Amino acid sequence: MDHASFTEICLQQLKMSGVKDGERLIVLTQGSERLNYADAFLAAGQRLGANMYHMRLPAPLPSDGWAVGMTGLSEMPDAVNALKNCDMLIDCVFLLFSPEQFAIQDAGTRVLTAVEPPELLARMMPYPELREKVTIAAEMLERAKVMRITSPHGTDVVYKLNTYPTVAEYACTDTPGRWDHWPSGFVFTGGDDDGVDGTIVVAPGDILLPQNLMVREPITYTIEKGWITDISGGLEAEIVKSYMDSFNDPRGKGMSHVGWGMNPNAKWHNFVPGEFPGGMGMEPRSFYGNVMFSTGPNNELGGTNDTACHLDIPMRNCSLFLDDSPVIIDGDIVVNEIQLTKS
């Protein structure tokens, strides 16, 4: 995407994120990655009268390795202080799950993550109705005490919802301290630590992330009191088990966040495994009417399980009930107040 077009979508994004004349913005990048994102955001912010600069971290050394939650910022309190003192951080590195990001948000800085390919950002722009409906959906989920998910392939699982907060992602942020991820469009919460029981059958066409695989043979998960006790099926079940075993951490068998996708501009079928524009999978996480469950850590929601073994699994054609009321039937949202059409 050329600079002018990229600047145009960043301008729309910053308007949706409430950027005003005189606000202080910082765009964060690392190494030689996404320098064009910084250029586009700086040009867009300037047009809105924001005071901005680009903070560029060195590329990590090959010997540093990489894991979610690790950033070069941990060694640089001065840089973290600068980020705490601005109004909005545009994170083109992916600070998510790092202690630094939590500290920056606690200081009142709003944070927008933008790391997906520009073409995907353009196709999945935030818009007022998306924000409005996702917010209503989050309120519904927040009130619910029990979530039940079923599917024609044999899923029947119950999550008790008395412990964790609900998170709404609608791809922009104009509230101090609030984080969001562009693109997105979904809601989630987590089941009680010992409160998830039943069977989940991941069906052909459902998606394993971060493997970026569409499943071809069903995977059957047996879940008792919040823990996976059995995984069976064909090739993809073997891949999941092998992946989980590689962490040598039994907490990878815990149940993580659960919720549903609401973005009508996200395509399920356009997700081509291993091919651009796949990115890190925000499109399959967001497609309208998906039910996404995940396994592993719950520290993102305030729980104690911080295992690095994490899978997100958006599923098609499921039905989802909150306190016995249908929200999604066969992969379509049936509650009027949260239905959306393409922007």
Decide if 274 contacts 212 (C-beta within 8 A): yes
- The count of chain residues that interact with Fe ion, using the rule CB under 5 A, is 2
Question: What are the residues whose beta carbons fall under 8 Å from the beta carbon of 275, sequence distance 6 or more?
Answer: none
Give me the least distance between CB of 188 and Fe ion, in Å please: 8
Give me the least distance between CB of 285 and Fe ion, in Å please: 8
Q: Of 92-100, 109-117, 242-250, 312-320, which segment contacts Fe ion by CB under 5 A?
A: 312-320
Q: Of 13-21, 151-159, 187-195, 291-299, which segment contacts Fe ion by CB under 5 A?
A: 291-299
298 binds Fe ion (CB under 5 A): no
105 binds Fe ion (CB under 5 A): no
Give me the least distance between CB of 296 and Fe ion, in Å please: 8
312 binds Fe ion (CB under 5 A): yes
Q: Of 4-12, 52-60, 263-271, 292-300, which segment contacts Fe ion by CB under 5 A?
A: 292-300
Nearest residue (CB) to Fe ion, 45 versus 278: 278
Give me the least distance between CB of 259 and Fe ion, in Å please: 10
Nearest to 331 by CA among 309, 315, 342, 343: 315
Q: Nearest-CB residue to Fe ion?
A: 312
Question: What are the residues whose beta carbons fall under 8 Å from the beta carbon of 12, sequence distance 6 or more?
Answer: 125
13 binds Fe ion (CB under 5 A): no
Which residue carries 């994004």 as its tokens? 13
Give me the least distance between CB of 294 and Fe ion, in Å please: 5
169 binds Fe ion (CB under 5 A): no
294 binds Fe ion (CB under 5 A): yes
Give me the least distance between CB of 195 and Fe ion, in Å please: 19
Secondary structure E strands in the chain: 24-30, 51-57, 88-91, 110-114, 146-150, 156-160, 167-169, 179-182, 186-190, 196-202, 207-208, 213-214, 219-224, 227-233, 255-261, 291-295, 311-315, 319-322, 325-329, 332-333
The one-character DSSP state at 256 is: E
Give me the least distance between CB of 96 and Fe ion, in Å please: 10
Question: Interface residues for Fe ion in 208-267 (CB under 5 A)?
Answer: none
Decide if 292 contacts 186 (C-beta within 8 A): yes
Q: Of 115-123, 187-195, 221-229, 287-295, which segment contacts Fe ion by CB under 5 A?
A: 287-295
Give me the least distance between CB of 38 and Fe ion, in Å please: 26
Q: Of 49-57, 162-170, 275-283, 288-296, which segment contacts Fe ion by CB under 5 A?
A: 288-296
Nearest residue (CB) to Fe ion, 83 versus 157: 157
Annotate 58-115 with three-state secondary structure.
Answer: CCCCHHHCCCCCCCHHHHCHHHHHHHHCCCEEEECCCCCCCHHHHHHHHCCCEEEEEC
Tokens coding 255: 């149940």
Question: What are the residues whose beta carbons fall under 8 Å from the beta carbon of 124, sequence distance 6 or more?
Answer: 171, 182, 183, 184, 185, 263, 265, 266, 282, 283, 286
Residues that bind Fe ion in the complex, under the rule CB under 5 A: 294, 312
